[in-house]
């Protein structure tokens, strides 16, 4: 199904103004005739099937909100609300507030934040700008400015709304303008409702594609958006749950690809979870001879292989080499040239399937043993005092019954072991024949070894009573500890040595609380330095402070030792360094800053349960083969590479993605298209060696219009974010941001020049499939990795950088552009969610309650004028003022509204791979600053542009490229 070829002019131009004057806003007279035409045009504008994907940056939301924090004073050279002086690409005047529909009292416009909250005096040294660049002094309500100076109508809700205005691109200030004295000049404002809306695009796609199954039989089909709930029927191409591409119609030549600047990439999630109604990949067993493969390129048998000579040979669809069909695999062809057993063999008729691997695919030509899980618990003072150690031990008693198992197995084949540590390591013998567990201490952490072999890794059922006894004793043994220092690298080394001795792969679950400063290999120092932000040395904050962990990661990958890390920091603990081994072994990091039992226990336990139970493959190697003409050149994700083709992962779970970029090395043809085959070799949780194969066929084009008609913006943003987040390791953040803006301007300028019908330069014309590129790109630019707010810690940024790198397209979608739902509009009698609204403060009404989720946090925002009855029903208190600040759970109340809201939250939690932290925010409370950070269409306090301003800026960049 082709997307409708449509390109709509969005922002009509108007008479040009000299660029040298900084525009300010004044009330407008009646619109000129052309505006009327614009209004009619906007009304008739069909918003077609576009991709929706982007989420907002997160402030403290990565851990707990700190105990009551306020944003500190601005950095040198940066105002509290305005853009840093060093970032000219974000110096715009915000548009004036737009009157809201309906009788909604409240903030005129979120882009106009003033100086810090009233508790801080305005920072000296910055003149208030008349043109609103830095906001205005707040009125009596914190966070809401009064009426706009010189505009009698805006702040108040009275009077008719002004007519929609045109954008005059020539009036967009150029970088140096805000340094000039502002001059009073009229400027047209853009109606936020007239620019592409993510909500509308998502809604349209749901209506167009949500009811029919997506059948994968056709080459180069663009799937429904990730935000659409749809069923997949595999008929020869892999499901979009396994592979999504930035474009499903790729340029035939490298020149054409360079001209468009659209990256050609695939986001691959090899072990993705399917819907219950969808069929899991079939397991094909070809016996001792193993899977049938091409002699030359070693591609695996797939639906695109061509059988010739009556079925005795096949021609490879990747490299064209002809290979003999093994006698046991021979089958006759029908009159169309298809094998007669075509439908009986998954590898000939389906896009995804598995082969049972033979011993040749195993390490040292030996079938693997089942993997092991080792739980390694920090028992230093902080961990014990916070109640964490007792909590972990209590949970493990029941959780060990839910280890992953294969299909219909009675019990899991995974063995378990236990270690506790502070400055030294304690190993435990939990052999089933013992009456009590035995502890062995290794204090020589410089030369790590495992003091016991027999009895360390055990079967849960056999050693159940000994394990239970151990888990009861650990919290008591360390209850009076005074040891505050910890080691870290020796803990990983101990786990690695234990797996080596047992000759198996496995996973370490490490629960850790502080910077490892005790004398030991991998010892770290506190190098946190906010002064490096916006300097050339900022990149060092994202790099590990020693190469020790890179070498350790390499050893772990060789052994198939995956590391999952649960962090509970009360201060800086250097996630950039501690996360290296986790990241390179394919593991997961979870972070609970300022962990407190009563508020964070649920989130941690839910994360731990899911992490222990989810599907995971060990000792994995992935290779992506392509048909002649393109090849895989670059890879992003949590893995290790020792050569240029093989992605190696000690562990790969059902949530992890690997993003692969392709480049041309020859011409492609429209007739044959392009093929990808992703082959993943891994050990299942029962110790079975398997190959999982995913195939995808794409179209190729000689016309740029065909490329732009078949792009997927959500996947494009996923790739661009990962590319940028890797870039900060080696380049200044500003250079990374500028490169992103430039690439997207080139993509859109190429479309304008080669595909759009001729029109005035004053119009911004976006391809139908990419009309959300500007809004989503702006969200990536404003994210905390690329433009941190003052309250965002160095650890937060390193954590988010690592998380995003292995996110799938649905996760980046909601992370960069969060979902905002009006709870008060929810129908308590139906199962459906209320319709989402756009991420802007001007969409909020003081009389309503809203929910915002971004995959890591759920905020429930309560307006000051919410009816008492609703407050009573949801919070069990009688008035707004009685809702306690910083609440993190909703009381369980027996009324329809409470049940509905809690069921919505449960439904959202089920959809995400991590348990989201719930934060209740009262309007005008100090936590509201954090909530507003996620209203990504508005200007951000850290200097990020509003959506409207960024669209103007992109338009200007495109015009410069075209001229």
Q: Kind and range of the H or E element at 814?
A: helix 809-816
Q: Is the pLDDT of residue 898 over 60?
A: yes
CA 37 to each of CA 13, 760, 875: distance values in angstroms, whole numbers, following the listed order: 12, 15, 49
- Rounded Cα distance between 812 and 837, Å, is 18
- Rounded Cα distance between 506 and 618, Å, is 7
Q: Which is more confident, 881 or 45?
A: 881
CB of 267 closer than 8 Å to CB of 722: no
CA-wise closest residue to 50 among 262, 205, 193, 220:
205
pLDDT digit string (tens) for 625-669?
999 999 999 999 999 999 999 999 999 999 999 999 999 999 999
What does the DSSP 8-state code read for residue 120?
S
Quote the strand ranges of 655-739, DSSP E.
Answer: 658-664, 674-683, 689-701
Band of residue 885 on the pLDDT scale cut at 50, 70, 90: confident
CA 343 vs. chain centroid, Å, equals 38
Paired residues of 324 in beta bridges: 313
Q: Is the pLDDT of residue 803 over 50?
A: yes
CA-wise closest residue to 113 among 90, 81, 91:
81
CA-wise closest residue to 234 among 212, 216, 251:
216
pLDDT at 942: 85
Q: Is the pLDDT of residue 757 over 90?
A: no
User: With pLDDT > 70 as the criterion, what percentage of the chain qualifies?
Assistant: 80
Q: Is the pLDDT of residue 533 over 50?
A: yes
pLDDT digit string (tens) for 924-944?
999 999 999 999 999 998 889
CB of 684 closer than 8 Å to CB of 406: yes
Q: Three-state DSSP class for 876? A: coil
- Rounded Cα distance between 391 and 695, Å, is 44
pLDDT digit string (tens) for 416-433?
999 999 999 999 999 999
List own/partner pairs for 326-329 with CB under 8 A and 24 or more apart: 326/289, 326/292, 328/286, 328/287, 328/289, 329/286, 329/292
pLDDT at 303: 97
One-letter-per-residue 3-state SS of 464-517: HHHHHHHHHHHHHHCCCCCCCCCCCHHHHHHHHHHHHHHCCCEEEEEEECCCCC
For residue 502 the two structure tokens come to 């047992």
Question: Strands 506-512 and 561-567: what pairing?
Answer: parallel
For residue 735 the two structure tokens come to 């250079």
Q: How confident is the model over 769-774, as a mean pLDDT?
A: 97
- Rounded Cα distance between 223 and 51, Å, is 10
CA atoms within 13 A on the CB side of 659: 25
Question: Strands 764-767 and 7-11: what pairing?
Answer: antiparallel
Q: Which is more confident, 5 or 392?
A: 392
pLDDT at 834: 96
Q: Is the pLDDT of residue 124 over 70?
A: no
Q: Three-state DSSP class for 758? A: coil
Q: Where is average pLDDT lowest: 107-121, 469-483, 782-796?
A: 107-121
pLDDT digit string (tens) for 172-188?
333 333 333 334 334 45
Q: Which is more confident, 108 or 571?
A: 571
Q: Three-state DSSP class for 342? A: helix
Q: How confident is the model over 907-933, as a mean pLDDT?
A: 94
CA-wise closest residue to 486 among 593, 381, 630:
381
Q: Is the pLDDT of residue 256 over 60?
A: yes
Burial of 168 from C-beta contacts in 10 A (0-12 / 13-18 / 19+)? buried
- Rounded Cα distance between 783 and 802, Å, is 14
User: Which residues make Cβ contacts (< 8 Å) with residue 653, sequence separation at least 6?
Assistant: 271, 586, 588, 614, 615, 616, 617
pLDDT digit string (tens) for 663-697?
999 999 999 999 999 999 999 999 999 999 999 99
Q: Is the pLDDT of residue 72 over 50?
A: no
Q: Kind and range of the H or E element at 773?
A: helix 773-781
Q: What mean pLDDT value characterizes the chain? A: 84
Q: Is the pLDDT of residue 75 over 80?
A: no
Q: Per the confidence metrics, is the pTM higher than 0.85?
A: no
pLDDT at 571: 96
For residue 202 the two structure tokens come to 């998502």
Q: How confident is the model over 250-266, as a mean pLDDT?
A: 97
- Rounded Cα distance between 508 and 506, Å, is 7
CB of 939 closer than 8 Å to CB of 948: no
Given 3-state DSSP classes, what are the helix, strand and coil percentages for the chain, each rounded to the nearest 5? 30, 15, 50
User: With pLDDT > 90 as the criterion, what percentage of the chain qualifies?
Assistant: 76
pLDDT digit string (tens) for 448-461?
999 998 999 999 99
Owner of token pair 């749950």: 241
Label residue 845 left, alpha or beta by phi (over 0 means left) and psi (-120 to 50 means alpha): beta
pLDDT at 20: 36
Owner of token pair 């690997």: 658
Q: Highest mean pLDDT: which of 2-6, 160-164, 624-628?
A: 624-628
CA atoms within 13 A on the CB side of 597: 11
Question: Strands 283-284 and 352-356: what pairing?
Answer: parallel
pLDDT at 188: 53
What does the DSSP 8-state code read for residue 728?
T
What does the DSSP 8-state code read for residue 339?
B
Quote the strand ranges of 172-319, DSSP E.
Answer: 214-215, 232-233, 243-245, 249-251, 265-268, 283-284, 306-308, 313-315
CA 565 to each of CA 375, 431, 487, 599: distance values in angstroms, whole numbers, following the listed order: 11, 26, 14, 20
């Amino acid at each position: 199904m082709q997307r409708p070829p449509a390109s709509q002019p969005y922002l009509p131009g108007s008479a040009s103004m000299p660029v040298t004057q900084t525009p300010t806003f004044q009330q407008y007279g009646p619109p000129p005739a052309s505006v009327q035409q614009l209004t009619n045009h906007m009304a008739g504008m069909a918003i077609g099937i576009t991709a929706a994907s982007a989420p907002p940056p997160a402030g403290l939301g990565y851990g707990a909100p700190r105990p009551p924090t306020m944003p500190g004073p601005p950095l040198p050279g940066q105002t509290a609300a305005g853009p840093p002086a060093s970032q000219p690409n974000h110096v715009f005047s915000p548009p004036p507030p737009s009157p809201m529909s309906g009788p909604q009292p409240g903030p005129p416009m979120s882009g106009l934040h003033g100086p810090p909250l009233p508790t801080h005096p305005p920072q000296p040294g910055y003149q208030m700008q008349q043109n609103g660049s830095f906001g205005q002094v707040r009125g009596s309500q914190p966070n809401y400015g009064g009426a706009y100076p010189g505009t009698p109508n805006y702040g108040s809700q009275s009077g008719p709304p002004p007519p929609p205005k045109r954008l005059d691109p020539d009036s967009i200030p150029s970088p140096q303008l805000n340094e000039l004295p502002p001059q009073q000049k009229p400027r047209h404002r853009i109606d936020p409702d007239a620019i592409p809306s993510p909500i509308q695009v998502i809604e349209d796609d749901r209506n167009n594609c949500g009811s029919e199954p997506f059948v994968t039989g056709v080459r180069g089909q663009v799937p429904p958006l990730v935000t659409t709930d749809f069923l997949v029927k595999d008929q020869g191409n892999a499901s979009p749950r396994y592979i999504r591409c930035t474009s499903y119609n790729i340029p035939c030549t490298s020149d054409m690809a360079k001209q468009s600047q659209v990256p050609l990439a695939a986001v691959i999630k090899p072990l993705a979870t399917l819907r219950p109604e969808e069929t899991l990949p079939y397991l094909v067993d070809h016996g001792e001879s193993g899977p049938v493969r091409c002699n030359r390129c070693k591609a695996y048998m797939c639906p695109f292989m061509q059988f010739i000579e009556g079925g005795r040979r096949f021609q490879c669809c990747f490299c064209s080499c002809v290979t003999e069909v093994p006698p046991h695999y021979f089958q006759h062809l029908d009159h169309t040239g298809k094998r007669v057993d075509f439908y009986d063999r998954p590898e000939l008729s389906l896009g995804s399937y598995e082969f049972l691997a033979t011993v040749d695919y195993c390490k040292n030509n030996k079938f693997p043993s089942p993997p092991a899980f080792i739980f390694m618990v920090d028992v230093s003072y902080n961990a014990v005092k916070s109640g964490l150690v007792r909590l972990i031990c209590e949970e493990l008693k029941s959780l060990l019954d839910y280890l992953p198992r294969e299909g219909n197995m009675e019990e899991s084949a995974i063995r378990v072991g236990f270690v506790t540590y502070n400055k030294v390591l304690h190993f435990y013998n939990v052999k089933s024949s013992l009456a009590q567990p035995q502890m062995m201490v290794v204090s020589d952490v410089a030369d790590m070894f495992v003091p016991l072999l027999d009895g360390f890794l055990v079967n849960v059922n056999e050693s159940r009573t000994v394990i239970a006894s151990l888990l009861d004793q650990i919290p008591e043994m360390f209850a009076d500890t005074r040891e505050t220092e910890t080691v870290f690298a020796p803990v990983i080394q101990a786990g690695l040595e234990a797996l080596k001795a047992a000759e198996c792969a496995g996973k370490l679950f490490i629960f850790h609380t502080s910077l490892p400063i005790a004398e030991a290999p991998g010892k770290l120092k506190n190098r946190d330095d906010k002064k490096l932000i916006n300097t050339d040395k900022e990149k060092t904050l994202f790099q590990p402070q020693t190469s020790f962990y890179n070498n350790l990661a390499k050893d772990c990958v060789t052994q198939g030792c995956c590391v999952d890390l649960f962090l509970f920091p009360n201060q800086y603990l250097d996630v950039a360094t501690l996360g290296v081994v986790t990241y390179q072994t394919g593991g997961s990091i979870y972070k609970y800053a300022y962990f407190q039992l009563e508020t964070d226990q649920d989130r941690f336990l839910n994360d731990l349960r899911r992490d222990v139970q989810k599907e995971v493959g060990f000792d994995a190697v992935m290779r992506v083969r392509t048909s002649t003409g393109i090849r895989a050149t670059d890879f992003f994700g949590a893995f290790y590479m020792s050569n240029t083709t093989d992605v190696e992962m000690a562990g790969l779970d059902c949530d992890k993605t690997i993003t692969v970029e392709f480049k041309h090395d020859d011409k492609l043809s429209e007739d044959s298209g392009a093929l990808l085959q992703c082959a993943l070799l891994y050990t299942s949780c029962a110790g079975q060696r398997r190959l999982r194969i995913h195939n995808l066929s794409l179209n190729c084009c000689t016309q740029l219009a065909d490329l732009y008609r078949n792009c997927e913006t959500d996947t494009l943003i996923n790739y661009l974010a990962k590319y940028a987040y890797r870039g900060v390791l080696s380049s200044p953040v500003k250079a990374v941001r500028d490169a992103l803006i430039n690439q997207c301007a080139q993509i859109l300028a190429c479309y304008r020049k080669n595909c759009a019908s001729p029109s005035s330069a004053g119009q911004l014309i976006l391809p139908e499939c990419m009309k959300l590129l500007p809004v989503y790109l702006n969200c990536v630019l404003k994210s905390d990795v690329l433009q941190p707010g003052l309250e965002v810690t160095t650890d937060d940024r390193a954590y988010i950088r690592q998380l995003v790198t292995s996110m799938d397209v649905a996760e980046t979608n909601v992370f960069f552009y969060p979902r905002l739902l009006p709870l008060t509009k929810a129908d308590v009698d139906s199962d459906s969610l209320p319709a989402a609204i756009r991420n802007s403060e001007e969409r909020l009404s003081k009389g309503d309650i809203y929910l915002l989720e971004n995959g890591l946090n759920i905020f429930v925002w309560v307006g000051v004028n919410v009816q008492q009855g609703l407050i009573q029903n949801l919070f069990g208190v009688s008035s707004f003022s009685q809702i306690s600040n910083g609440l993190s759970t909703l009381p369980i109340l027996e009324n329809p509204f409470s049940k509905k809201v809690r069921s919505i939250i449960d439904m959202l939690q089920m959809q995400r791979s991590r348990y989201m932290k719930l934060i209740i925010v009262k309007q005008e409370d100090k936590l509201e600053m954090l909530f507003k950070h996620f209203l990504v269409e508005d200007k951000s306090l850290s200097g990020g542009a509003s959506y409207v301003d960024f669209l103007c800026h992109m338009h200007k960049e495109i015009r410069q490229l075209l001229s």
